[in-house]
Amino acid sequence: EPEVTQTPSHQVTQMGQEVILRCVPISNHLYFYWYRQILGQKVEFLVSFYNNEISEKSEIFDDQFSVERPDGSNFTLKIRSTKLEDSAMYFCASRRLAGVYFTDTQYFGPGTRLTVL
Amino acid sequence: TQLLEQSPQFLSIQEGENLTVYCNSSSVFSSLQWYRQEPGEGPVLLVTVVTGGEVKKLKRLTFQFGDARKDSSLHITAAQPGDTGLYLCAGALSQAGTALIFGKGTTLSVSS
């Protein structure tokens, strides 16, 4: 069964450094998302992406964050200058198109654990 | 602020018991999804409910979407130790691709 994959599984970085988290969504999916989960807290929405542009973003997704679909398979989240509070699990999710409507179901990847020191 | 309140937060039961987890909101959702999440892993989809009043069954798990599409429940019959884990509900406010709003989750522990 197709799955969303994410790399790396764990990223450790120094405060102020740039990180790029990578995701390969399910191949026939067209809507992509990033979420994060700080340890012990609930999963929070960051951004959604469709047709090569941001569809919606949360207050968390400030100017330090950006997303890109550099080719036909990858979807990336870049954090320009990491802060201690960016330490979290980051999940990519994707959603397919069914006919002319999207189905509601989002499928999640295994996550990247980002640790900012 | 849209909130999805999930209860109980923690549940510890014996093998063979039944349990129900609730997910409530004042917002109307176009759909609601239930996930299970293991420590250090991503949420794994269990079911999506779309129609008010809808009931879906997945083996010993029964999911219901409220008539007004503001609430949902997950009922597990004859719980087994393998059911141990974190159960999350997540609602979509519209079909237009908006973000999922997650509850805080219910941590279930089933002991033999």
The CATH code that applies to domain A5-96 is 2.60.40.10
The DSSP annotation for A16-53 comes to T--EEEEEE--TTEEEEEEEEE-TTS--EEEEEEETTE
CA A13, B40, A24, A45 torsion: positive or negative? negative
For residue B72 the two structure tokens come to 């949902």
Q: Which CATH fold topology does B5-111 show? A: Immunoglobulin-like (2.60.40)
Residue A29 CA to residue A98 CA, distance in Å, equals 9
Altogether, the residues listed in chain A come to a count of 117
The DSSP annotation for B30-97 comes to SEEEEEEE-TTS--EEEEEE-STT-EEEETTEEEEE-TTSSEEEEEESS--GGG-EEEEEEEES-SSS
pLDDT at B96: 63
State pLDDT tens for residues A52-108: 999 999 999 999 999 999 887 899 999 999 999 999 999 999 988 655 555 668 999
Chain A interface test: which of B36, B47, B69, B100 (most A C-beta within 10 Å): B100
Among chain B residues, CA nearest to A57: B99
Q: Per DSSP, what are the bridge partners of residue B108?
A: B11, B85
DSSP symbol at A85:
G
Q: Per DSSP, what are the bridge partners of residue B107?
A: B10, B86
pLDDT at A73: 87
Annotated domain spans of chain B: 5-111
pLDDT at A97: 67
Chain B interface test: which of A108, A112, A113, A114 (most B C-beta within 10 Å): A108
Provide the terminal-to-terminal Cα distance of chain A, rounded to the nearest Å. Answer: 37
| A58 in B contact zone (CB under 8 Å) | yes
Tokens 């929070």 sit at which residue?
Answer: A44
State pLDDT tens for residues B44-99: 999 999 899 999 999 999 999 999 999 999 999 999 999 999 999 999 887 666 78
State pLDDT tens for residues A9-64: 999 999 999 999 999 999 888 899 999 999 989 999 999 998 899 999 999 999 99
Q: Contact, B104 vs B7, CB < 8 A?
A: no
pLDDT at A70: 87
Among chain B residues, CA nearest to A107: B45
Asked if A103 lies within 8 A of B48 by C-beta distance, the reply is: yes
pLDDT band (50, 70, 90) for residue A2: confident
Angle in degrees, CA B36, A39, B76, rounded to 5? 20
CA A105, A60, A89, A80 torsion: positive or negative? positive
| A25 in B contact zone (CB under 8 Å) | no
Asked if A45 lies within 8 A of B44 by C-beta distance, the reply is: no
Closest by Cβ to B97, choosing from A44, A55, A108 = A55
Query: Average pLDDT, stretch B18-46?
Result: 93
Residue A80 CA to residue B91 CA, distance in Å, equals 30
Asked if B105 lies within 8 A of A42 by C-beta distance, the reply is: yes
